[in-house]
Amino acid sequence: MRRLLLALALSSSTMAAPVPTGPANVPEFKPAFAGQTRAEAVVSTTKLVVTEVATGLAKPWGLAFLPGGRMLVSEKAPGALRIIDAKGVISPPVAGLPAVDARGQGGMMGVGVPGDGFVYWTYAEPRQGGNGLAVARGRVVDGAAPRMDDVQVIFRVQPTLDSQQHFGGRLVFARDGTLFVTLGERSILPGRVQAQDLASDFGKIVRINRDGSIPKDNPFVGKAGTRPEIWSYGHRNMLAAALDAKGRLWEIEHGPKGGDELNLVKKAKDYGWPTITYGEEYSGKPIGKSLTQAPGMEQPVYYWDPVIAPSGMVIASGKLFPEWRGNVLTGGLASMALVRLVLKG
């Protein structure tokens, strides 16, 4: 594959030594190519001013702008959507939403407002025998008591599993009108192994139309023993995904103990989990055969060790931060930092 040169940005425009980090979780693992991890530091001349917009939200997870500049924000637990105006005033919870399983890593997650008259969101759906990620859409009615009308559940992850972890849940609206959804592999072993199973949605990125139907050009349409919505597979838990200026899909996923990954997502490709990984079990035990490479499996463009625990991401565009245009920005839940990754090539 064509390699991308990367650098972690700190604070100037010159190349420096590798970014200071802690010791690697798995020091015996070596990168597959130069620059795949512990990239050189890049300092930035851009000055930042941080402004607090709103306070008092309960575990905010996703954000999208409504027409007119208001923000629609998801609260992971107890599982709600709220509207925030330009003055930071937070609305009551939006009424009319389906039931949410907010236990563990479940709750209300991704939100999107693509401009087609609908609001889209992902959430952990309670089900008989367990739960699963679902995607819904509706028409928001703003006001003192906001509500969601015309609610439709357009996609449900299959199968159902009794787990409170690794739901995924990020939405990305493609330029062709389709919708990418990131799906976690549910963490526990019965789900984890299904990341390599094309008859399961676990550990996949799926591509659907906005009404929930399946695009005819998806790679596994018409193939026996596979789910037609699957776009890529072999993923762990993807909380971050975005398109770049060329319309290419990127995602960042949580590794286990070590090995958070940045991947350039391609149609029908296998990203390796749990067969290959740059991490190990939280107990320190190896995962599988302790492999980092295998034939037919994609390498991450970049990986972090120690992990940053990535949350959302954007690929910077626009005029506000011209120096950062085309760079990856992601939040680190463990590193407690906004991480900037410079892509070159």
CB count in 10 Å sphere of residue 175: 8
Whether 254 sits among the annotated catalytic residues: the reply is no
Nearest one of 246, 213, 252 to 332, comparing CA atoms:
252
Torsion of CA 109, 114, 115, 121, to 10 degrees: -20
* Helix, coil or strand: residue 83: strand
Please give the torsion angle defined by the CA atoms of residues 305, 308, 309 and 310, in that order, rounded to the nearest 10 degrees: -110
What one-character DSSP code corresponds to residue 194? G
Are the beta carbons of 228 and 215 closer than 8 angstroms? no
Name the one residue in this structure whose structure tokens are 């969601």.
Answer: 148
Tokens at 272, concatenated: 């390796």
- State the Cα–Cα distance between residues 273 and 237, nearest whole angstrom: 10
Q: Which of 133, 42, 143 is nearest to 95 (CA)?
A: 143
Residue among 220, 210, 133, 152 at smallest CA distance from 179: 210
Distance CA 260, CA 306 (A): 8
Q: What is the DSSP string of 318-341?
A: SSS-GGGTT-EEEEETTTTEEEEE
Q: Are strands 249-254 and 310-315 parallel, antiparallel or unpaired?
A: unpaired
Choose the catalytic residue: 166, 254, 257, 269.
166
Q: Which residues are catalytic?
A: 166
